[in-house]
């Protein structure tokens, strides 16, 4: 089961004037889902006629149902990943939806899927955490206490927020961030040896995060390399007239973040991403190839697990990056499902994972 949230602007704004159609990538993803999946699409009540018309014309293979909010509620953005957390049982079936108080989307989904809701005092955007089989990777600012004080990934004392996040389900929490002194690290000097011993616990140091959310530039694979959890981390490249400065700055921050991840016991592979002008704003921004939906279980009748991968080459000259990222995932043993159209949401700094919330992975 998977959920979407579509704001009224997706149905009402004059997107043609800006060359963008935000419903296009959403529709392409729905059309790429297996027929046995169930999709719930939360919409504003005023959008029911437009949404029904769009869904009927789309006719996705999966079962898709519109969930209108009550007339006093509305959807402000499409990034449902940030709105709701899902608690599951040992088989992966959803048991509880956790959100901030008064979350109308959580209430609508809970009613539809017959789940209970809970309010959490842990404020943590879904996009700023990645959950693996035996770890939780969280963007460093989300591990800071309300006072603004935080800790290094290897600090002696953990913040109260860090401890609260770790108490969610007992998974060890790791920090996605970088130390300013690591910005001078390059791939040539970076020690990628899996045998490198973990450092001694150190005093708290200043940390920064690259990007808004960890899922912009990091993918969990569910695999292990040299007995370490394997992560895929973006490697930026300047493209299509974007100067090297923006890509170089981003690369330095991600290289330093990789340094931190390796110190914490992760194995890392890199995947190329372009920093390229957006089709609507012309701003030089990265394309988020790491923002994927991943399965580690092979579906019945298939030979490999699926990974749904955002593509941009249908609208931009980025076919080479599409192919390179497909090949990386195929080389890791996955069957990449290519979902086109994400250039239309690139300037909103989100992609495929941001726009979805997996409610249950149970078959």
pLDDT digit string (tens) for 300-358? Answer: 999 999 999 999 999 999 999 999 999 999 999 999 999 999 999 999 999 999 999 99
Q: What b/e readout covers 320-345, taking b as 16+ CB neighbours within 10 angstroms?
A: ebbeebbebbeebebebbbbbbbbbb
Q: Is the dihedral of CA 280, 283, 288, 291 positive or negative?
A: negative
Distance CA(39)–CA(63), nearest Å, equals: 6
Residue 203's pLDDT is what? 30
State which residues of the chain have pLDDT below 50. 147, 153-154, 156, 194-204, 363
Phi-psi region of 351 (alpha: psi -120 to 50; beta: other; left: phi over 0): beta
Residue 12's pLDDT is what? 82
pLDDT tens per residue, range 132-166: 989 999 999 999 876 455 555 445 457 888 888 88
Starting from the edge strand earliest in sequence, which strands make up the sheet with 94-99, in order? 85-88, 94-99, 116-119
Residue 226's pLDDT is what? 95
């Amino acid at each position: 089961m998977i959920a979407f949230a579509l704001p009224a602007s997706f149905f009402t704004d004059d997107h043609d004037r800006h060359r963008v159609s935000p419903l296009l990538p959403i529709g392409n993803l729905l059309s790429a889902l297996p027929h046995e999946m169930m999709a719930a699409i939360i919409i504003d009540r005023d959008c029911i006629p437009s949404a029904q018309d769009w869904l009927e014309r789309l006719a996705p293979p999966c079962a898709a149902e519109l969930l209108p909010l009550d007339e006093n509620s509305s959807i402000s953005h499409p990034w449902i990943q940030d709105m709701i957390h899902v608690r599951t049982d040992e088989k992966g079936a959803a048991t509880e939806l956790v959100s901030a108080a008064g979350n109308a989307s959580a209430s609508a989904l809970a009613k539809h899927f017959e789940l209970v809701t809970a309010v959490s005092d842990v404020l943590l955007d879904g996009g700023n955490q990645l959950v693996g089989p035996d770890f939780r990777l969280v963007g460093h600012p989300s591990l800071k206490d309300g006072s603004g004080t935080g800790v290094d990934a290897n600090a002696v004392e953990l913040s109260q927020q860090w401890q609260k996040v770790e108490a969610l389900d007992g998974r060890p929490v790791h920090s996605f961030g970088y130390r300013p002194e690591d910005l001078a690290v390059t791939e040539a000097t970076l020690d990628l040896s899996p045998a490198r011993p973990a450092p001694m616990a150190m005093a708290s140091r200043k940390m920064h995060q690259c990007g808004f959310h960890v899922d912009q530039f990091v993918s969990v694979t569910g695999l292990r390399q040299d007995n370490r959890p394997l992560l895929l981390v973006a490697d930026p490249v300047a493209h299509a007239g974007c100067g090297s400065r923006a890509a170089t700055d981003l690369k330095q921050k991600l290289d330093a973040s990789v340094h931190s991840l390796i110190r914490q016991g992760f194995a890392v592979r890199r995947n190329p991403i372009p920093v390229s002008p957006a089709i609507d704003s012309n701003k030089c921004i990265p394309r988020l190839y790491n923002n994927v939906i991943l399965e580690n279980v092979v579906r019945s009748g298939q030979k490999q697990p699926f990974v749904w991968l955002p593509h941009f080459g249908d609208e931009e000259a980025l076919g080479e990056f599409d192919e390179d990222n497909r090949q990386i995932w195929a080389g890791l043993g996955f069957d990449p499902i290519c979902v086109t159209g994400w250039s239309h949401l690139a300037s909103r700094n989100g992609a495929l994972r941001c726009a979805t919330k997996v409610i249950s992975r149970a078959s």
